[in-house]
Amino acid sequence: MKIRQARFSDLDRIIEIELENFSLEEAIPRSVFEAHLREIQTSFLVAEKEGRILGYIEGPVVPHRYLHDQSFTEEIKDYSHQPGGYISVTCLSIAKEAQALGVGKRLLKTLKEVALEHEREGINLTCHDYLIAYYEKHGFVNEGVSQSSFAGETWYDMVWQPENKEN
């Protein structure tokens, strides 16, 4: 399995995986993924095996500790040209056929390597309560209920920082 930067040619498969895993309210629209592919310089990654995309992780570099709902829109701003900041994950999604095969783990590991290589303060994301243990297993710390109101859901702020890099 190879982890690489996403390309526009991956978009149809990314949308397919997104719709497999998220409700219509939570699924990121195609126009937003197009904006993310244009804007995000270092942190839109896909996992590929034998030419097939199995999953992806993506989100901009931002100057703040927690994910903001603006990251889920076409008005995305990527601060990868500035030092520091956090990679703010808007989506980690794995194709149904590839779940429980370590694809998410590999994508998270590679994103942590990107964060270290570019001297980011860390990685942030929001998740549902049933995913907190998954992200904690990967070194993220639950910092409580998020201010995010994306899709009208309750989200939890999760943060990974380099001092937690053993996970």
Mean pLDDT of the region 70-80: 78
Residue 89: CB atoms within 10 Å:
25
pLDDT band for 95, please (50, 70, 90 cuts): very high
Q: Give the Å distances, CA to CA, from 43 to 59, 125, 143.
A: 6, 13, 22
CB atoms within 10 A of CB 138: 16
Q: What is the DSSP letter of 7?
A: -
Confirm if 60 and 88 have CB atoms less than 8 A apart: yes
Helix, strand or coil, per DSSP, at residue 112: helix
Q: What was the pLDDT predicted at 164? A: 64
Residues 67, 102: Cα–Cα separation, whole Å: 25
The ranges assigned to domains in the chain are: 2-164
For residues 74-98, give the mean pLDDT: 92
% of residues, the chain, pLDDT over 90: 77
Over residues 114-161, the pLDDT tens digits come to 999 999 999 999 999 999 999 999 999 999 999 886 777 788 999 999
- Contact between 92 and 140 under an 8 Å Cβ cutoff? The reply is no
CATH architecture for segment(s) 2-164: 3-Layer(aba) Sandwich (3.40)
Mean pLDDT of 51-59: 96
